[in-house]
Amino acid sequence: MTIFNRLSAAAIGLSLAAAPLGASAAEFINVLTGGTSGVYYPMGVALSKIYTEAMPDAKVQVQSTKASVENLNLLQQGKGEVGFSLGDSVKLAAEGNADAGFPAPLDKLRGIAAIYPNYIQIVASEESGIKTLADLKGKSVSVGAPKSGTELNARAILEAAGMSYDDLGKVEYLPFAESVELMKNRQLDATLQSAGLGVASLKDLSTSIPISVVAVPADVAETLGAPYIAGEIPGGTYEGQTDTVPTVAVINYLVSSDAVSDDAAYMMTKSMFEHLDEMKAAHAAANAIDVQKALQGMPIPVHPGAQKYYDEVGVKAE
């Protein structure tokens, strides 16, 4: 099955084939995101609106998923045209890491753009007494949906800190919103969420109960290495969080597949960067999207259509 469904009426087939994308070609673009309480989803909705305007004959839809790992597998299977993913998930997918949810290398993935960093945000209820990573020992912690990008981050962070799930009192594999609900009901001590700063789920939590934002020391980022980098959660990001908290970040990418036409990939890339104001309006995390950093650390081949746009605007691989 091809990714794009072109109109097949004989009278217009030839003219469609010759027409520029966005003029009269009928395309189907499925935007793969994440849970509705995360950052991927509102960003994906904004992206779908941008694509709809840039390619008026395209049928664009947004699909809520379990995020990174599921998105990459769906792209490999031809069940999506563009999706959001964490950089470490992309790297592991290209390598074929079975433990991460990729039994074989995903060789059809193609990069569209590096976008914004995800911050590993570990938030505990104040009454749990958790202040440091070591304090998580013996506590109940939600680490994200099974084999999601967030959960892969959780495993990596704990390992770099000399810990594992075995050190925790109880491990829950839940999406962001469900984790927050358990914390509100005092059924969970902490949640680890890999997302843009100001993620809706944690904002909701911080206005519901007193929280503590747990620091992840810079040496953890050094131990992990690329694609992880040291980062900070600025004071005031969440209700009751007065101090800036060190943590680890990892770059997010927009990913497509080799089944997507060069014209489509070109328009998807160009239209996003030319309408960043709409992305920023959808979520503050989009303020970090910079075309000059679009090829930063790209762990997979860049889609030729996206590369055409970068050649036009003079963006080089770092």
Mind listing the pLDDT tens digit for each residue in 34-81? 988 888 999 999 999 999 999 998 999 999 998 999 999 999 999 999
For the whole model, what pTM was predicted? 0.79
Q: For 36, phi and psi rounded to 5 degrees?
A: -70, -15
Per-residue three-class SS string for 181-218: HHHHCCCCCEEEEEECCCCHHHHHHHCCCCEEEECCCH
257-301: pLDDT as tens digits: 999 999 999 999 999 999 999 999 999 889 999 999 999 989 999
Q: What's residue 26's pLDDT?
A: 63
169 burial level (CB within 10 Å; 0-12, 13-18, 19+) = exposed
Average pLDDT per block of 10 residues along the chain, 318 residues long = 40 36 64 91 98 95 95 98 95 94 97 95 98 97 90 94 97 95 97 92 97 96 88 96 96 97 97 98 94 94 98 92
Which residue type is seen at 21? L
Domain locations in the chain as residue ranges: 10-115+253-313, 118-250
Please tell me if the domain spanning 10-115+253-313 has the same topology as the one spanning 118-250: yes
Topology classification of domain 118-250: D-Maltodextrin-Binding Protein; domain 2 (3.40.190)
CATH class of 10-115+253-313: alpha beta
Query: Is-contact 51 62, C-beta < 8 A?
Result: no
Closest CA to 150 of 158, 140, 162, 139: 158
* C-beta of residue 252 within 8 angstroms of C-beta of residue 279: no
pLDDT value at position 148?
A: 85
Predicted confidence at residue 180, as pLDDT, reads 97
In sign, the C-alpha dihedral spanning 288, 291, 292, 294 is: positive
